Chain A
């Protein structure tokens, strides 16, 4: 693990995030310095330490299995950038 093998283009592609060439250079160099700072966590011995995902963990949060009110089709589509026949419109996925 090293900040030097950080490939901004590859990570941006994983994140589905188009960057301009200028952004690649700028974000790449800024993140290298941030990753350099983050390296300090390696100083600590974390053997046998349990990870914390939530500070106040709750287990098995269930509600009664009863149908409630939900959004109508119209409400759910109200913010859609493109819609037709009660559905979201997207670019063609299969030929």
Chain B
């Protein structure tokens, strides 16, 4: 079957753009008409500006007509954006009520880099409020539905980004990952999602949740497309002092060559109880296939894995309680009046934040409060060192580590929304990666049988080991056809 325009990968679209078989305008219209056809059911987008997208497409078509593709590796490619990244002149809500009618005064660095590469930036994608959640059920704008089964969640917090790519409403999307918010929804929606090494991508213009854990990354239909987006958005930025000076490799040029001789680690701590048998089966199959593709499988130990979720919920909430202090109704956002500033702050925050955000601010404030700092926050930071050392030790022996991305396929809307701890434990395989600061990718490795739901394979790379991680992912992907299956006809 020949794919429709909106079903193409970025690479597929680029071939047609270069041959002038498809214009940037047609590519953009294909996304917009798919949104109109399916998004009332999927609800991946909370808003989009059609005329702005088409104006950018017209600009791209002018350059395409001149044959001026050099220096514009994403010329004419429509890319949608999670509602946590600043796009100048466009609304930014973090899917919260508290931001009111906020309009971004500047472009995030990743947006500026995509624009420079020629991409068409459009749409605001749904997410859990302030990126806190694993299902998008915490959005103040309604829940996104999984394109493979609309009774199920798409994952979160970047659920809108994953669903939009899986439903072919955009060619790629950006999201953010603090404890799995790119990889988990990518796994549950059957697309590719990458969390880069901490510091690889500038966070300037990303609304901060937990500053020492947050990274921006791509959602795409193929590994190659993710490599292209990643090499476009990576690199040091004078606006983010935590972005690193390491040069950015050309990830797209190093995807081929196979994985012969690479050592891949399997962590026994990840094959835990609670792992769905079908997920386990598909991941084991993928591991055997990687072996038959030439990799050597080595058992490694990550002994502090069991402490990652507890560590994460102290470190992340502590940082969040501090970062979210800025939402006080003074300089922007939906102010609720009060007789004095204290009452104004309390009213604004009490009415503006949703339940999960309140829960995490309270927890974060508590673990940082006088008398508890050492027992909770400082101890968690020390355990974080142990978790990071687990990975650094394992990487003495192996080039990458293979795990399931999630313990189960997508769960039903409402299934876990009343039990925060149960929801937190669904992130058990993705959280350590952020604490350790290493890169991770999720890519499809098959489907459950009934209902048919995507399952994700996670590859964790060495610090700044994106190149090898992407090559392993690409080699596996190309030996299979999971990425060609579409959620919607």
Do A and B share a complex? yes
Instruction: Please encode chain A, from 65 to 95, with 1 for each CB lying within 8 Å of some chain B CB and 0 for all others.
Output: 0000001000110111110000010111100
Q: Does the CB pair B365–A14 fall under 8 Å?
A: yes
CB interface residues, A 40-63, toward B, < 8 Å: 40-42, 44, 46, 49-56, 58, 61, 63
Q: Does the CB pair B366–A6 fall under 8 Å?
A: yes
Roughly how many angstroms separate A81 CA and B379 CA in the complex, as a whole number?
40
Residues of B within 8 A of A11 (CB): 362, 365-366, 369
Residues of B within 8 A of A12 (CB): 362
CB interface residues, B 337-371, toward A, < 8 Å: 337-347, 349-351, 353, 355, 358-359, 361-363, 365-366, 369
With contacts A16-B345, A17-B346, A79-B105 known, is A34 near B313, CB below 8 A?
Answer: yes
With contacts A23-B355, A33-B421, A56-B198 known, is A50 near B365, CB below 8 A?
Answer: no
Distance from A61 Cβ to chain B, minimum over Cβ atoms (Å):
4
Roughly how many angstroms separate A40 CA and B362 CA in the complex, as a whole number?
20
With contacts A30-B420, A40-B310 known, is A61 near B199, CB below 8 A?
Answer: no
Q: Does the CB pair B380–A19 fall under 8 Å?
A: no
With contacts A40-B310, A51-B378 known, is A58 near B242, CB below 8 A?
Answer: yes
Instruction: Please encode chain B, from 94 to 112, with 1 for each CB lying within 8 Å of some chain A CB and 0 for all others.
Output: 0000001111011000000
Q: Which residue on chain B has the smallest CB distance to residue A26?
A: B355
Distance from B185 Cβ to chain A, minimum over Cβ atoms (Å):
23
Q: Which residue on chain B has the smallest CB distance to residue A28?
A: B362
Distance from A49 Cβ to chain B, minimum over Cβ atoms (Å):
4
Roughly how many angstroms separate A11 CA and B355 CA in the complex, as a whole number?
15
Q: Does the CB pair A81–B335 fall under 8 Å?
A: yes
CB interface residues, B 91-145, toward A, < 8 Å: 100-103, 105-106
Roughly how many angstroms separate A33 CA and B418 CA in the complex, as a whole number?
13
Roughly how many angstroms separate A16 CA and B129 CA in the complex, as a whole number?
19
Q: Which residue on chain A has the smallest CB distance to residue B347?
A: A18
Q: Which residue on chain A has the smallest CB distance to residue B211?
A: A54
Q: Does the CB pair A79–B332 fall under 8 Å?
A: yes
Q: Does the CB pair B212–A17 fall under 8 Å?
A: no
Main secondary structure of the interface of A (DSSP, over half): loop
For chain B, which range describes its interface: under 10, 10 to 19, 20 to 34, or 35 or more residues? 35 or more
Q: Does B331 contact A (CB under 8 A)?
A: yes
Stretch of B47-55, B261-269, B384-392 at the chain-chain interface: B384-392
Residues of B within 8 A of A19 (CB): 350, 358
Q: Does the CB pair B365–A80 fall under 8 Å?
A: no
Q: Does B458 contact A (CB under 8 A)?
A: no
Distance from B236 Cβ to chain A, minimum over Cβ atoms (Å):
10
Residues of A within 8 A of B309 (CB): 37
With contacts A52-B388, A91-B339, A91-B344 known, is A17 near B349, CB below 8 A?
Answer: yes
Q: Which residue on chain B has the smallest CB distance to residue A1?
A: B375
CB interface residues, A 1-42, toward B, < 8 Å: 1, 6, 8, 11-12, 14-20, 23, 26-27, 30-31, 33-35, 37-38, 40-42
Main secondary structure of the interface of B (DSSP, over half): helix
Q: Does the CB pair B332–A80 fall under 8 Å?
A: yes
With contacts A55-B198, A71-B105, A79-B102 known, is A37 near B421, CB below 8 A?
Answer: yes
With contacts A34-B313, A41-B310, A56-B197 known, is A50 near B385, CB below 8 A?
Answer: yes
CB interface residues, B 372-408, toward A, < 8 Å: 372, 375-376, 378-386, 388
Q: Does B241 contact A (CB under 8 A)?
A: yes
Residues of B within 8 A of A35 (CB): 363, 366
Q: Which residue on chain B has the smallest CB distance to residue A55?
A: B437
Q: Does the CB pair B199–A56 fall under 8 Å?
A: yes
Distance from B190 Cβ to chain A, minimum over Cβ atoms (Å):
29
Q: Does the CB pair B339–A54 fall under 8 Å?
A: no
Q: Does the CB pair A17–B358 fall under 8 Å?
A: yes
With contacts A15-B365, A80-B332, A81-B334 known, is A23 near B212, CB below 8 A?
Answer: no
CB interface residues, B 202-228, toward A, < 8 Å: 212
Roughly how many angstroms separate A88 CA and B379 CA in the complex, as a whole number?
40
The listed residue (B331, B386, B436) touching A79 by CB distance below 8 A is: B331
Among A16, A76, A92, max chain B CB count under 10 A is at A16
Q: Does the CB pair B382–A46 fall under 8 Å?
A: yes
Q: Which residue on chain A has the smallest CB distance to residue B324?
A: A15
Q: Does the CB pair A79–B337 fall under 8 Å?
A: no
Distance from A67 Cβ to chain B, minimum over Cβ atoms (Å):
13
Distance from B235 Cβ to chain A, minimum over Cβ atoms (Å):
14
Q: Does the CB pair A16–B342 fall under 8 Å?
A: yes
Q: Does the CB pair B199–A58 fall under 8 Å?
A: yes
Q: Does the CB pair A54–B359 fall under 8 Å?
A: no
With A11-B366, A34-B420, A55-B435 given, can you name 19 additional A-B contacts, CB distance below 8 Å? A1-B375, A11-B365, A15-B362, A16-B342, A16-B349, A17-B353, A17-B362, A20-B350, A35-B363, A38-B376, A40-B307, A41-B310, A51-B378, A52-B435, A53-B212, A54-B212, A55-B463, A58-B244, A91-B340
9 cross-chain pairs, A with B, having the tightest CB-CB distances, nearest first? A55-B437, A18-B350, A51-B381, A79-B332, A81-B335, A46-B382, A61-B241, A18-B346, A16-B345
List 6 A–B pairs whose Cβ atoms lie within 8 Å, in order of A's numbering.
A16-B346, A17-B346, A20-B350, A49-B385, A55-B436, A91-B343
